[in-house]
Every structure is written in structure tokens, then in C-alpha cells.
């Protein structure tokens, strides 16, 4: 993948929602239809602060622009759409 976000944008790979609970219960596909809101940071623009490649970020539910590169799906977020970093 050869993509560099510009400005305060961040390229992320969305984490799929868990299909099993901590106690081992398997959740059916229709249990949660909501979009995921956590993603792993793969690339950052020059003006991004407090975020590093490899961080897991939380973003607004309908934020970002979907992007397909080399057959994989990614999301490009603006800095204002990122709510926080999970440590």
C-alpha cells in the first residue's frame, strides 16, 4: 500500500466487531447492526498530533471516507472526527 494522508487526515483499518462475548457466547450476525467505531492507525498526515501509527482510535459512527486499496477496505478520517486513543 502506498498512501500518504494529507494535512490532518489519518488512514485507518476498521476493526470488525467481536462475534463472541468474554464468557464464550457466540453472537448472531443480527445481534448488532451498528457500524464499528474503533480502528487501527496505518498512516498519518503531517499535521496530526497525539496519534501514532499502530494506535487504536475511537471515531464518530458515520465519520470518514471509505477507500479501497489493493483489495482491502480502509477509512480516511479527519483529525476532528477522532474522539480518542485507546491505550
pLDDT, one tens digit per residue, over 5-28 is 999 999 999 987 666 777 877 766
pLDDT, one tens digit per residue, over 27-71 is 666 655 556 789 999 999 999 999 999 999 999 988 999 999 998
Nearest to 9 by CA among 77, 84, 59, 87: 77
Nearest to 5 by CA among 87, 74, 86, 63: 74
Instruction: Count CB neighbours of 57 within 10 A.
Output: 19
Structural domains of the chain in order of their starting residue, each with its CATH number: 9-17+31-86 (2.30.33.40)
Q: List CB contacts of 81: < 8 A, sequence separation 6 or more.
A: 59, 60, 63, 64
Amino acid at each position: 500500500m502506498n498512501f500518504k494522508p494529507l494535512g490532518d487526515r489519518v488512514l485507518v483499518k476498521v476493526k470488525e466487531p467481536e462475534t463472541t462475548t468474554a464468557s464464550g457466547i457466540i453472537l448472531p450476525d443480527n445481534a448488532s447492526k451498528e457500524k464499528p467505531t474503533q480502528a487501527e492507525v496505518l498512516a498519518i498526515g503531517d499535521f496530526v498530533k497525539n496519534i501514532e501509527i499502530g494506535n487504536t482510535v475511537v471515531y464518530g459512527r458515520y465519520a470518514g471516507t471509505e477507500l479501497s486499496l489493493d483489495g482491502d477496505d480502509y477509512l480516511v478520517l479527519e483529525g476532528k472526527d477522532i474522539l480518542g486513543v485507546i491505550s
